[in-house]
Homo-oligomer: A and B are copies of this chain.
Amino acid sequence: MKFELTKELLEQIKHQIEMRNAKFIIDEIGSLHPADIADIVEHLDLNEAKYLFDNLEEEKAADTLVELDDDYKDKLLETLSAKEIAEHIDQLDTDDAADILGNLSEDEKDETIAQMQDKEHASEVIDLLKYDEDSAGGLMQTEFIKARESWTVKRCVIELRRQAEDVEKVYSIYVVDDEDVLLGILSLKRLLFARPDALIKDLYRSENIKYVKTYDSKDEVAEIMKKYDLVSIPVVDRQQKLVGRITIDDIVDVIQEEAEKDYQLASGITENVEATTSVLKNAKSRLPWILIGILGGILSSLILTNYEDQIAINPVLAFFIPLITATGGNVGVQSSAIVVQSLANHDFNPGGIFKRIFKEMLVGIIIGITCGALVFGYNYLLNDGDMLMGIIIGTAIFVVVIIAAIFGTLVPLLLDKIKIDPALATGPFVTTSNDILGLTIYFFIAYLMSA
């Protein structure tokens, strides 16, 4: 029952497309879930994909288009006429339709909208286009089911049957007043088990209902749905009028994207690089971070220039440069990561910024003493009891660890304050700064102690 795209299956499909075997596509591929068909399409070239799409049922084709990854979708859309795109969009839920329109140029957008058959659908989609795509308005769909307080259960079921034609998945019914202001929520389960003559106003829940406003950010929507385990949430405008709903599948995507973005920032990749991304694009999205690292390396070399004589006299000092930079970098990234995660989880922090830094300093002291003692011991044994080098490096490690812990805590907090994604702090930026900081401390201590 689980679909798996094997090499053999892919070759067979490519062969059948080459043979122009429309029956194979309708029977064998048309019966699959759109997400599975999208998996297949992403491994076809554009001509093959186009033939496949032309032979799928209209609704299946449109749903498959939505499931494609963004790169492939854009390429495929470029090969389609405004009329063909409009035919797909006519089949889609408003949120998916708006997403596809949003990717087109202004001219293409106008032309496609003009070609849409279902004018009411078109105007709803146009309404959605005005919202920021990172807001609740940008995520919501206008397909939902609403009922009035005064209805009986029987009337409600009749009315809902008509509304439900357009709504693929129904989880809850939103109860509104005559001005469409959201009053409460009625679960489908409750409606199903109620007597036909019962009144909606006696059944629905109006207390503690969770909703979002069109201008709330998608992160806020995700947070609420996650916290309260919701599968759908109503969206209201500034006058509390019900204008849409957001379902959990879209929020799962938001959560996944956010997590991947943090991970990528921490790994120093600016854009979404996948295994299938071209070599040039891959290199281009990675170079900025590498160049920041190079710049940091050059700065480090300039700092070291000041200690040229010391290194010439005592080359052993140079041996421990990697130890200092690596340890500072590791501690700093750990500290930043903890802050980034607690910011992402909105951990309530009664003590504020100073308490957090003080705590991090204590952690730094514990780690610093352990590492410092270890490195001192190693040097002491290696140099047959000559303590100076051990003291220099042990002290340097101790200080570098504490400074790195504090610095790693501060940077993401500051980035967050000035509205930059704090996850940036766990990337090459902090490691590079820590290298420079660490070396400066190390050679300054060496200078003081050797003098």
Evaluate contact between B192 and A160: CB separation under 8 angstroms: yes
A384 interface residue, CB < 8 Å from B?
no
A387 interface residue, CB < 8 Å from B?
no
Evaluate contact between A348 and B191: CB separation under 8 angstroms: no
Residue from B318, B325, B342 within 8 A of A315 (CB atoms): B318
Chain B residues lying within 8 Å of A249, measured Cβ to Cβ, are 229, 231
Residue from B39, B298, B338 within 8 A of A323 (CB atoms): B298
Number of A interface residues, CB 8 Å?
123
Chain B residues lying within 8 Å of A426, measured Cβ to Cβ, are 266-267
Assembled-state Cα–Cα distance A264/B169 (Å): 36
Query: Of residues 168 to 219 in A, which have CB atoms within 8 Å of B's CB atoms?
Result: 169-171, 187-189, 191-193, 207-211
Interchain nearest-CB distance for A107 vs B (Å)? 32
Interchain nearest-CB distance for A266 vs B (Å)? 5
Q: Can you list 13 residue pairs at the A/B interface with Cβ under 8 Å?
A: A1-B208, A10-B350, A33-B228, A157-B192, A170-B187, A170-B189, A267-B333, A290-B330, A294-B374, A308-B316, A312-B315, A321-B322, A325-B326
Chain B residues lying within 8 Å of A348, measured Cβ to Cβ, are 5, 39, 43
Chain B residues lying within 8 Å of A269, measured Cβ to Cβ, are 334, 337-338
Which A residues have a C-beta under 8 Å from some C-beta of B? 1-2, 5, 7, 10, 31-33, 35, 39, 43, 157, 160-161, 164, 169-171, 187-189, 191-193, 207-211, 224, 226-229, 231, 248-249, 251-252, 255-256, 259-260, 262-264, 266-269, 273-276, 279-280, 282-283, 286-287, 289-291, 293-294, 296-298, 300-301, 304-305, 308, 311-312, 315-316, 318-327, 329-331, 333-334, 336-342, 345, 347-350, 356, 359, 362-363, 366-367, 370-371, 374-375, 378, 397, 401, 426, 428, 431-432, 435, 439
Copies in the complex: 2
Evaluate contact between B35 and A228: CB separation under 8 angstroms: yes
Chain B residues lying within 8 Å of A325, measured Cβ to Cβ, are 322, 325-326
Assembled-state Cα–Cα distance A82/B249 (Å): 39
Chain B residues lying within 8 Å of A327, measured Cβ to Cβ, are 290, 293-294, 297
Assembled-state Cα–Cα distance A319/B436 (Å): 12
